[in-house]
Amino acid sequence: MKGDAHKSLLWSGVQQFVVFGIQFGVGVLLARLLNPYDFGVIAMQGVFFAISSAFIDCGLEGALIQKKECTKADTNSAFIYSISISVALYVLLFLAAPIIEDFYQTPNLGKVIRISALVLMINAVGIVPRSLLQRQLRFKELAVASTTIQFAAGLVAVLMAYHGYAYWALVGQTLLAAGLMAVAYYVYTRWWPSFQFSMESFRQLISFGLPMLFTALVHALYNNLYSLVIGKQYNARQLGLYNRAENYSCYVAYSLSDMSMRALYPILSRAQDDLVQLKVAALRILHASAFIVVPINVFLLVEAEDIICILLTDKWVEMTPLMQVMCVSTLAYVVSNLHFNLFKAIGRTQILFICEFIKKIFGILILLLTFQYGLLVMVWGLLIYAVLNILVSSYFVYRFVGITLWEQGKEVYVVALNALAPILVCFFVGYMVDQLYMRFTLSFVSYFIIYALMAWFEKDKTIDFLKGYFLKG
């Protein structure tokens, strides 16, 4: 199992960080070529697509991975369900597009939805073969495919933006990437559906997947609720600023956490009856994730304005305070995503749904109290929610896995202190140096050298952990 963990985490890491680099680079170029309004138009459809995607997946992908023995009847039944629901939901969105356009009072939004919604059917086609690749820990193939395809789709989007296609460049990028990835899944797995639906297999899958559906719906509604409210209460430009601030602040936290969980979830599922092993693995990955994510987000917080001016130009500088607060709140994702996958691994999806439902009630109450006071107050509300998120899910993790909040805190508090200490150097450089590029370069180098030296002197166990996974053959 250790060998599987090493290979899966290694190739998942390659995939996640190379794709992250490509997406980040493409995102920067698109932000320079486009404006906040363009990103806001695309963000307006997010809640409808997220809800649709939850129904299409219905927890079946996770069920196929988690199931100890996966049969042809299982894969065919999941495929037929996903395709059927995706077609029905596309038709529904096609008909509802003018209504959504009137709701947001944004011209051409209906046309954008009717074209963009094709991605739902494309993604549905790839659910089963993707789950098979993850089940077999074939992350090398996923890494090669996603890297190549994201680069090609990003290049097409940049060319479209350069030639004045505005938000259609973002639509084209999404559709092209989804279509090519679906083709790649089938090429690698050599799996083809036989269109034989088994009610018995579907019942077994849905018993695991239905609570996951409810959980995904809660996630989809809450995670896109801010975009829905901002798009309606304010305008597409304000939504675009919020969307990009959220995107850049969560890049590292989301990418690293998703990388780890995508690789480790199949392995944790195999050890679902050994809570001791689950606990050790969970605490180790929590520390390793914090070791990388916390200093990067702290540096982004301190240098947010300079980074925005250098990468995105002054037209985006208005989002600086939003991004700074979100750099703190998105750190909670590293913890909550770990908790989420632990519950999936041990098959306690009903408890997972209850946990998520409680957390989202708090989140909605915070939104109702903050939305009328402007974007910045809403973002501060997200920070309060992040704290409550960790507290609530940690209670359930303690009850069912045996990991206490204190044990989790011990894994991250030294990392947090080491990440905060070099801030003083950044402030000093900012005070002494006026030239933008020189100031940023000196701050960057000084911050991470000091952080690395502190970790080395303390003999942080993550250094050996990373060597073990990325340096051994």
| Cβ atoms within 10 Å of 430's Cβ, excluding its own | 17
Residue 87: both structure tokens together: 């077609």
Residue 115: both structure tokens together: 């074209």
Domain ranges of the chain: 1-233, 237-473
**Separation of first and last alpha carbons in the chain:** 16
| Cβ atoms within 10 Å of 253's Cβ, excluding its own | 26
Q: How far apart are CA 418 and CA 398, in angstroms?
A: 27
pTM: 0.80
Average pLDDT, the chain: 85
Task: Dump pLDDT digits (tens) for 283-330.
Answer: 887 888 888 889 999 999 999 999 999 999 889 999 999 999 999 999
Q: 279: burial class by Cβ within 10 Å (0-12, 13-18, 19+)? A: middle
CA atoms within 13 A on the CB side of 248: 29
Phi and psi based region of residue 107 (left: phi greater than 0; alpha: psi -120 to 50; beta: remaining): beta
Q: How far apart are CA 193 and CA 84, in angstroms?
A: 13
Instruction: Report whether 466 contacts 289 (CB < 8 A).
Output: no
> Is the pLDDT reported for residue 28 higher than 70?
yes
Q: How confident is the model at residue 1 (pLDDT cuts 50, 70, 90)?
A: very low
Q: How far apart are CA 378 and CA 370, in angstroms?
A: 5
pLDDT of residue 262: 60
> Is the pLDDT reported for residue 17 higher than 50?
yes
Q: How far apart are CA 9 and CA 281, in angstroms?
A: 13
441 compared with 257, residue with greater pLDDT: 441
> Is the pLDDT reported for residue 12 higher than 60?
no
Choose among 379, 349, 351, 353: nearest CA to 367.
Answer: 379
Per DSSP (E only), the strands in 311-465 are none
Q: Which residue has the tokens 């480790």?
A: 264
281 compared with 295, residue with greater pLDDT: 295
Mean pLDDT, residues 93-121? 94
The angle subtended at Cα 249 by Cα 268 and Cα 404, nearest 5°, is 40
211 compared with 229, residue with greater pLDDT: 229
Residue 267: both structure tokens together: 């392995």
> Is the pLDDT reported for residue 196 higher than 70?
yes
> Is the pLDDT reported for residue 257 higher than 80?
no
